[in-house]
Amino acid sequence: MITSELPVLQDSGESGQDTVSLSMSMSELDDPGDGKSKKKRGRPGRPPAPNKKPRKSPLEKCPMGVQRGRKANGMAQQNGEGDPVTLFEVVKQGKSAMQSVVDDWIESYKQDRDLALLDLINFFIQCSGCKGTVRIEMFRNMQNAEIIRKMTEEFDEDSGDYPLTISGPLWKKFRYNFSEFICVLIRQCQYSIIYDEYMMDTVISLLTGLSDSQVRAFRHTSTLAAMKLMTALVNVALNLSINQDNTQRQYEAERNKMVGKRANEKLELLLQRRKELQENQDEIENMMNSIFKGIFVHRYRDAIAEIRAICIEEIGVWMKMYSDAFLNDSYLKYVGWTLHDRQGEVRLKCLKALQNLYTNRELFPKLELFTNRFKDRIVSMTLDKEYDVAVEAIRLVTLILQGSEDALSNEDCENVYHLVYSAHRPVAVAAGEFLHRKLFSRHDPQAEEALAKRRGRSSPNGNLIRMLVLFFLESELHEHAAYLVDSLWESSQELLKDWECMTELLLEEPVQGEEVLSDRQESALIELTVCTIRQAAEAHPPVGRGTGKRVLTAKERKTQIDDKNKLTEHFIMALPMLLSKYQTDAEKVANLLQIPQYFDLDVYSAGRMEKHLDALLKQIKFVVEKHTDTEVLESCSKTYSILCSEEYTIMNRVDISRSQLIDELADRFNHSVEELLQAGEEADDDDIYNVLSTLKKLTAFHNAHDLTRWDLFGNCYRLLRTGIEQGSMPEQIAVQALQCSHYSILWQLVKITEGAPSKDDLLALRRVVKSFLAMCQQCLSNVNTPVKEQAFMLLCDLLMIFSHQLTTGSREGLQPLVFNPDSSLQNELLNFILDHVFIDQDDENQSIEGDEEDEANKIEALHKRRNLLAAFSKLIIYDIVDMPAAADIFKHYMKYYNDYGDIIKETLSKTRQTDKILCAKTLILSLQQLFNELIQDQGPNLDRTSSHVSGIKELARRFALTFGLDQIKTREAVATLHKDGIEFAFKYQNPKGPEYPPPNLAFLEVLCEFSSKLLRQDKKTVHSYLEKFMTEQMMERREDIWLPLISYRNSLLTGGDEDRMSITSGSSSSKAGSIRSKKGRPAMHKKRIEEESVESSWMMRNDTLQTPGALQTPQLTSTVLRENPRQAAEHLPEQNSEPGSESDYVHNPQMQMSWLGQQKMEEVNRKERTAMNYMKARSGGVRQTVRGLMEDDAEPIFEDVMMSSRGQLEDMSEEFEDTMVIDLPPSRNRRERAELRPDFFDSAAMIEDESGFTMPMF
């Protein structure tokens, strides 16, 4: 019988000696001089032999009082050779075979089971990470709970790690060795020792007590040990059950013999053996019940997910190992309930445990009730937020489908089908396996092959491919064909690589019994075919799945090469026929023309298949002549580009065909242009169509091919110039002419950069670029939006290409080609952005002739606007357009955050990296523009509680957050921002008189959002600068209208003088100081020195720092700073004459170098004088005051109150050294102290509905 307490030892020796170690040394266990050998194992079920000899006490076995390899106080140590001497060390190192370790322990148990058990108890204690040791007197006199409480007190509280949670290969191996040790121990003791009613009672009682401990390490380790112990006992019980069945069969066979041949003695032996086996079985069941009810039932709902996962993992092992005893609803309910666990790790263990059960089809009848009850939950887990859980849930649903077709409804299957389009590849592949099992697996391959032969088909996969096409069309996700193919690639490769069958379905007429493919089905089949070709040729997932191209193994590389050869040999002959059949269908042709890029083009020459190449080129030429669709023409151009690669021998043949095609197109284009220009305004639709069709074809080819020898730029420029002069050029012709001219310029640049150009070549290209840029600038005022957008994008691209970066990389000779946009061009580009990007949706709808756009068109329009904004932002980032232009973009950050927030934020980040100060001035300029717009709309008396003012403040708050946490790096930029803000607030005086606030004073409330980004000493400097603009009357005013000034002053005083005034001296601060965290104090002196050095460098930077002057607002912008003309006329002269005004800042180099440093210089002399007086007058009370400052403020700034030299700082630090109290932080105990058994499941997870179930456990 298992008790809840450890058995109390009966002392047979001296009780006064209690220093005996509790673990036997390895040398003792291996000592042959003992004269004792291992006992032979008895037959299964034989009870242990009684111990005839009286058990010796530990002192009798060790007369010297100290065993070899141990200290006298009982603590284990290593012997002279450095070998481990405790079970924990042996198992941790794992150098010895676990079988021999267990055999040595069994031998010591036979010699003295008390010492062996103490060794095992300390093994579990040490495996938990506890430094304490159970001593002999504790084992004798203390109960189980008292021992555990004592070990809890001796636990190392400074670390939250213990062996089962420590990372690293050693401790990962330890977990495996720990589990193996317990399993081997039970296996080796299964014939006698586990039935002695001593060892198992002691171990189970100890583990039960530890599993109920508040210490996580004890609970975790003991639960793992108990579950592994249970697993080993289940294996013993299974062996006993098998032996019982064998014994029963032998008994029945012997009893059925004739009376004369029956051996009565054998019958009696078999009866006796059956009885022994039954007794052992009852004893094992008693042990398992104790573990299950005492540990599992409580720990499967533990607060720690790892402990819950252990329980669920092991119960799955029990149900699979001994299904007759454990695979019933009494145990399955725990797994079902835990499917609702909040931790993905636990849900994952549940699914894997169920997978092991559903893999065995013989167990399906026992799982039928469980499947019906929890099927919906399992299917819903295919959408689990944890991808690993979702993958295993899909695999489990697939196993259920394999076991029973009727177990899943159509709705259940559809929930899994759509996951083949998941962006997470493991989920998609698992769903592809399910889809393959459900729809694409052939149930009778031989019959299907015979049917295909009767129909004259070479492949039996025709019906399956048709089903794949139908599935793809019904999913209504047609743009994701590549994802569908990738999902099915691992499970249905044979089907997806059957290109012969796909070609047959497309080219041949349907035979009797087959349905004709519709046009929509043919398009889907062609798209799927192209995706399978890409997957086979590239051997990696499509874009959006996976983290990138991985290195292929040798086997995968060989498969890729074989597949590429196979598809090349097939489609070299089939592709011309496919193009011939579908040559008039733009969508089908565009997809088919993607196939040649995956060919192994050497096959053309190696296989002497030039005639098929000629057929392909003939079909491509015919497609070019027939189509004007951009996608088709670009596919043709790309195919020619691939076939013209110089590394292949077919290049000459393809080049001749391409040149002939371009000659025809160029002649036709030149002729049609002349006719169009001659006709002028009388040109008819045919003239326009001839020009447009040939120009689109040439533009598509000019993108991938160098067509400069045909001089297309001249006629394109003539078309554009005529369109501007006459204003009657169709917009499509203008768009194509702009694009073709752009390609022509780029190809000319390529030639120049790759060769050694002459000066004449550079000047000629410069003239071309200059004239085209002027043409694009004129097109920005075109009435047609597509023309303007095209001209804008080309302007941005060309300005980027021909910028100052063109000369980098030893290309100084290209300097004549560098173009810098003048202010008028910059302003036109900015105006275009403001008029075409930052517009409301309603305005956009009105601009499209009142047509109502559908959702797809809205998304496309937004994508186009984002591209326009990104193109202009790049010009700002790379310093091609002046940074102040970004102010008109930054001010829209909040209003258009959903549409362009990421682009504006990235632009802000990049410009700050370029120039922190200029970026800060641009930010404040954007806020000033918004404020001025608000003044013009609402007048000078702003409602500071209105949504518009709140919007400006929120924008300022967002801008302040972008400065980050490192105030040292952004110090000067933030100070400059405050300076510009103060000057703007006091720029004009109120015409009513000085007793009234300035018109822009409310802007200080916006500026408050940046005060937190100032360092403490900089706040004082900015406050001093603010006081220069304030009169004495302003300082005394407290009316509501002056609140912005009051709020801004308070934000600058926060953390400054007011903080020091609030510090209490004497003992009142000592109590608060004792709660200081240990992070702030050790770096105090270092930080103080660092800030002093930074302060000094700021003061001395007048001769070294070059910062830009005040920003000039861009001209001609639609959101330029709008001022009141009357105010400007009245007050601008006064501002110009005031020292420290903005004009002085712009034109005075000293002020540009470091405004903050100059403000510091004005106060440095005063600080030096007050610092000496402070040192002389310092008393004990003052010392306590500074001490309170150091303890209450994590970043003390000494130079604010006294320091002017480092020597005085060091002196003061030494004097304060004996007065500061060092408070060590309390040790942090990261172990869980929560309740052991909180309800970790939703109420819905606990099965309350018992309808249909007669068993109470459901």
Q: Which two tokens stand for residue 1163?
A: 């106060």
| Segment 1142-1196, tens digit of pLDDT | 344 334 433 344 555 555 555 555 545 444 444 444 434 433 333 332 333 333 3
Question: CA 403, CA 363: separation in Å to the nearest integer?
Answer: 10
CB 168 within 8 A of CB 56: no
User: Where would I find the H helices in 1002-1106?
Assistant: 1003-1007, 1016-1029, 1032-1036, 1043-1053, 1057-1061, 1070-1073, 1084-1099
- Quick one: pLDDT at residue 609? 85
CB 1112 within 8 A of CB 884: yes
Question: CA 210, CA 206: separation in Å to the nearest integer?
Answer: 6
DSSP character string of 656-704 = HHHHHHHHHHHHHHHHHHHHHHHHGGG--HHHHHHHHHHHHHHHHHHHH
pLDDT bucket at 623, cuts 50 / 70 / 90: very high
* pLDDT above 90 coverage of the chain, percent: 49
Provide the Cα torsion 785, 789, 795, 798; round to 10°: -140
Question: CA 85, CA 69: separation in Å to the nearest integer?
Answer: 7
Q: What does the pLDDT average to over 1027-1036?
A: 82
CB 280 within 8 A of CB 44: yes
- Quick one: pLDDT at residue 1210? 38
Kindly report which listed range (224-233, 425-434, 548-557) carries the lowest average pLDDT score.
548-557
Q: Which residues contact 1188 (CB under 8 A, 6 or more apart)?
A: 1063, 1064, 1065, 1069, 1072, 1073
User: Where would I find the H helices in 159-263?
Assistant: 169-189, 199-211, 216-255
Indicate if the pLDDT at residue 680 is higher than 80.
no
Angle at 1227 between CA 1221 and CA 1230, to 5 degrees: 150
- Quick one: pLDDT at residue 643? 92
Indicate if the pLDDT at residue 43 is higher than 50.
no
| Segment 815-866, tens digit of pLDDT | 999 999 999 999 999 999 999 999 876 554 444 444 445 788 889 999 999 9
Helix, strand or coil, per DSSP, at residue 1004: helix
Residue 1060 is which amino acid? R
Q: From residue 308, how far is each of 218, 350, 574 by CA, in Å? A: 15, 10, 60
pLDDT bucket at 371, cuts 50 / 70 / 90: very high
Question: CA 636, CA 661: separation in Å to the nearest integer?
Answer: 12
The residue that leads in pLDDT, 1002 or 1242, is: 1002
- β-pair partners for 205: none
What's the mean per-residue pLDDT of the chain?
A: 77
Q: Which two tokens stand for residue 251?
A: 């008994």
Question: CA 366, CA 376: separation in Å to the nearest integer?
Answer: 18
Long-range residue pairs from 692-695, CB within 8 A, at least 24 positions apart, any chain: 692/628, 692/730, 692/732, 692/733, 692/736, 693/628, 694/665, 694/668, 694/669, 695/669, 695/733, 695/736, 695/737, 695/740
Q: Which residue's entry shows tokens 């407290």?
A: 1038
Q: What does the pLDDT average to over 732-740?
A: 94
CB 386 within 8 A of CB 426: no
- Quick one: pLDDT at residue 999? 87
- Quick one: pLDDT at residue 1162? 56
| Segment 270-291, tens digit of pLDDT | 899 999 999 999 999 999 999 9
- Quick one: pLDDT at residue 141? 65
pLDDT bucket at 171, cuts 50 / 70 / 90: confident
CB 416 within 8 A of CB 487: no
- Quick one: pLDDT at residue 755? 81
Furthest CA-CA distance within the chain = 138
DSSP character string of 534-588 = HHHHH-SPPTTSSSSPPPPPHHHHHHHHHHHHHHHHHHHHHHHHHHHHTTT-HHH
Indicate if the pLDDT at residue 1025 is higher than 50.
yes
Indicate if the pLDDT at residue 744 is higher than 60.
yes
Question: CA 315, CA 319: separation in Å to the nearest integer?
Answer: 6
Give residue 620's region: left, alpha or beta (phi > 0; psi -120 to 50). alpha
Indicate if the pLDDT at residue 662 is higher than 80.
yes
Residue 1077 is which amino acid? S
- Quick one: pLDDT at residue 1161? 56
- Quick one: pLDDT at residue 155? 76
CB 1017 within 8 A of CB 1197: yes
Ranked by mean pLDDT, the top range of 439-443, 795-799, 1116-1120 is 795-799
Indicate if the pLDDT at residue 42 is higher than 80.
no
Residue 167 is which amino acid? S
Angle at 1093 between CA 1092 and CA 1095, to 5 degrees: 65
Indicate if the pLDDT at residue 1030 is higher than 90.
no
Q: Which two tokens stand for residue 20?
A: 């005996």
Kindly report which listed range (10-19, 715-724, 752-761, 935-944) carries the lowest average pLDDT score.
10-19
Kindly report which listed range (91-95, 228-232, 813-817, 1134-1138) carries the lowest average pLDDT score.
1134-1138
- Quick one: pLDDT at residue 417? 93
Q: Which residues contact 655 (CB under 8 A, 6 or more apart)?
A: 644
CB 545 within 8 A of CB 486: yes
Ranked by mean pLDDT, the top range of 129-138, 522-531, 980-989 is 522-531
Q: What does the pLDDT average to over 1081-1102?
A: 39
